[in-house]
A and B are shown apart, each in its own frame.
Chain A
Amino acid sequence: MINGKVGDVIVTTTDGVNLGAEHWADRATEQVISVGEDSHPFIVEQARAFKDRIRHVVHYYMIEAINEDRSRVVALLRSAGHHDLANSVEKL
């Protein structure tokens, strides 16, 4: 007997803002590490600690990547003579 099953999706919405690096770091971590509920409690504890560490690392480097990209945008705006716009982006 073959059974077809469908998983549950999670829908996240925002009003007036975009999802931040924290959300995407959570999603990236969920994709990389999953902890089996039936595993030995000691293994689960270790895996969760490792998962938290990975989440922090991913979040840190996401922020770094955002800052790098924003610096690039600022530089491009300045080189194109849009100094006011560049200053506004720099303050984000």
Chain B
Amino acid sequence: MCTSFKKELMEAGHNFKNSGGNTFNIALYTDSASFTAATTAYTSTNEITNDAGSAYSAKGNSLTRVDPTTSGTTAYTDFADTSWSTATFSAMGAMIFNDSHSGDAAVVILDFGALKTATAGTFTIAFPAADASNAIIRIA
């Protein structure tokens, strides 16, 4: 989770509500990308490109927001799964960023753990169960 995101939350810089919230995108990156908690914003450097076709566009896919909620003392939010069809590309990781925020503020960095490749197929990112133990973004 990007440190700048934590600060921006305290400045009311992000709205994850399904209705009227900000636009959050997920961009994919090659294994040359090197992000840390100090990453602050979306960058096109080392963003993936298509090996064939045009399934992937810069800044990736916009995500469908799910209203934030709580369970016990944990607050969390979720997104609907996202996919690229007729995809021919590889990615090692991803960044979720706020496309509505001036400067495209980074939210979280995701490491896929290995290079994932789709060839004339589908590239799908499934978000974890929306609960206090697994949800993609949690504040405990």
Query: Which residues of A does B touch, CB under 8 Å?
Result: 2-19, 23, 27, 30-31, 34
A4 & B6 in contact (Cβ 8 Å cutoff): yes
Query: Which residues of B does A touch, CB under 8 Å?
Result: 1, 5-6, 81, 83, 85, 87, 91, 94, 108, 110, 112, 116-131, 134-140
The 6 closest A-B pairs by CB, nearest first: A14-B121, A7-B128, A13-B118, A5-B138, A7-B136, A10-B126
Kindly list chain A residues whose C-beta atoms are within 8 Å of the C-beta of B125: 9-11
Most buried by B among A3, A9, A13: A9
Kindly list chain B residues whose C-beta atoms are within 8 Å of the C-beta of A3: 139-140
- Is chain B's interface secondary structure helix, strand, loop, or mixed overall? strand
Given contacts A9-B125, A11-B116, A14-B122, 15 further A-B contacts (CB under 8 A): A5-B1, A5-B137, A6-B1, A6-B110, A7-B127, A7-B138, A9-B128, A12-B126, A13-B117, A14-B121, A15-B120, A19-B83, A19-B124, A27-B126, A31-B130
Say how far B10's CB is from chain A's closest CB, in angstroms: 10
A4 & B122 in contact (Cβ 8 Å cutoff): no
Kindly list chain B residues whose C-beta atoms are within 8 Å of the C-beta of A4: 1, 5-6, 137-139
